[in-house]
Amino acid sequence: MSAGSLRVLIVEDEAFIALELECLLEEAGHVPVGVAARAAEAVAMGRDLAPDVALVDIHLADGPTGVTVARALSARPGTTVLFTTANAKRVPDDFAGAAGIIAKPYSERVIRAALAYVAGRYHGGTPAEVPDGVVLAPGDRGDGAARTDLPA
């Protein structure tokens, strides 16, 4: 695995979005390790596959369970969680342990840039700038700024 390459778990109930995300990740040099559409499945895969990154949608096949999933996955050291959601208002103030939010609809660029940032920040890759399409969790911003820039 090359430097900056991440093992990524996709937690997403929309099959097309998940599949496209897998292709995009591969194209960007990352390794998609699995796709989960439900909370229990996601937590189990997080435990068994020990991904570097989990991209977590909030609305899953079994309801708005993404927040719980994020909490469980981020509890494991070594896994960085990023929400990918069209419903950022559902994200609690502490981001449920997630490092940031990628607002849907996202562009390929934002996904690439977000993963490059996570690789640099948490997984020994080259430091990268925070992409403009990503809202970082309060702890990661380090400035205690209010979440006024949150998408709806």
Partner 1 sequence: MIVLDAPRQAEASLVRAADAPSDAPFSDAPFLAAFRASEAPMVMTDPALPDNPIVFANPAFCHLTGYAADEVVGRNCRFLQGPGTDPSDVARVREAVGRGEPLRIDMLNYRKDGRPFWNAMTLTAVRDEAGAIRSYFAVLTDVTGTKQAERALAREKDGLAQDVEARNLALQAALDQQTALLHEVDHRVKNNLQVISSLMLLKARRSRDPACRDVLRSMADRIGALATVHRLLYSLSDVGRFDLRDFAADFAADLEAGLDPDRIALTVDVEAVAVTASMAAPLALLVHELAVNAVRHAFPGERHGRVTITARRRDDSLVLEVSDDGIGLPADIDNPEGFGRDLVAMLVRQLRGRLAFEDLGPGTRAQVVLPLGPGH
- Report the interface residues with partner 1, using CB under 8 A: 14, 16-17, 19-21, 23-24, 59, 86-87, 89, 103-109, 112, 132-133, 149-152
Q: How far is the CB of 78 from partner 1 (least distance, A)?
A: 28
Least Å distance, CB 59 to partner 1, is 7
Closer to partner 1 at the Cβ: 62 or 108?
108
88, 38, 27, 44: which is closest to 60 by C-alpha?
38
Identity of the residue, 48 or 132, whose beta carbon is nearer to partner 1 in the bound complex:
132
Which residue do the tokens 């990503």 mark? 134
Q: Considering beta carbons, is residue 2 or 16 the nearer one to partner 1?
A: 16
Q: Which residues lie below 8 Å from residue 81, measured CB to CB, with a gap of 6+?
A: 53, 54, 56, 70, 73, 74, 96, 97, 98, 99
- The least CB distance from residue 68 to partner 1, in Å, is 18
Helices 39-49 + 66-75 axis angle, to 10: 20
Task: Provide the token pair at 24.
Answer: 């995009």
User: In the complex, what is the shortest distance from the CB of residue 29 to partner 1, in angstroms, rounded to a whole number?
Assistant: 15
**Of residues 79 and 114, the one with the C-beta less far from partner 1:** 114
Which residue is it, tokens 């959601």? 85
User: Which strand (E) or helix (H) includes residue 54?
Assistant: strand 53-56
